[in-house]
Homo-oligomer: A and B are copies of this chain.
Amino acid sequence: MIMDKLQLSVRIALNAWEANVKRANAVFGKFTNEELMLEVAPGKNRVIYILGHLIAVHDMLLPLLGLGERLYLQLDEAFISNPDKMIKELSSPGDLRTYWININDILLNRFNSLSPDEWFQKHTMISEEDFAKEPHRNRLSVLISRTAHLAYHLGQVALVKK
């Protein structure tokens, strides 16, 4: 298939997203359930918090990109609204691993179903008026920004001493 430049620009952003998700799968896969309770640095977030946080942030992409309803709203209290260790009862590591794989599978499917033009449509948190003035605030910019967010936290998880 010959891609035009617009398709390529979307493909490149999707490749970067996929590469970071795969990297994350490999990283989290190397932690036992017990090791998920380790802090990335003394007094800092535990790996399980970062995992839950990433699931919740990725889950938020469904409504933000107009791709569906959220699946894991129940994670927000422990992993978005509060810092680590505030909420004592967390989802089990096994459940979180399942959610992580599931949300990324669903996102990738929905992402791949969007046409290049649809990536240049506005995301749902900006009004039509503002989007007319700031057309870069589209789905593609959200994807690139969330890829950097994922990389940011992967850098932290890489520091854990097991």
Query: A residues near B, CB below 8 A?
Result: 3, 5-6, 8-13, 15-16, 20, 40-44, 116-117, 120, 135-136, 138, 140-141, 144-145, 147-156, 158-159, 161
Tell me how many chains of this kind the complex includes: 2
Classify the secondary structure of A's interface with B: helix
| Min CB gap A26→B, angstroms | 14
- A6 touches which one: B9, B41, B154 (CB < 8 A)? B9
The interface residues of chain B lying within 8 Å CB-to-CB of A150 are: 148
B3:A135 contact, CB within 8 angstroms: yes
A13:B144 contact, CB within 8 angstroms: yes
A155 to B152 CA separation, bound complex (whole angstroms):
4
A43:B153 contact, CB within 8 angstroms: no
A136 to B156 CA separation, bound complex (whole angstroms):
29
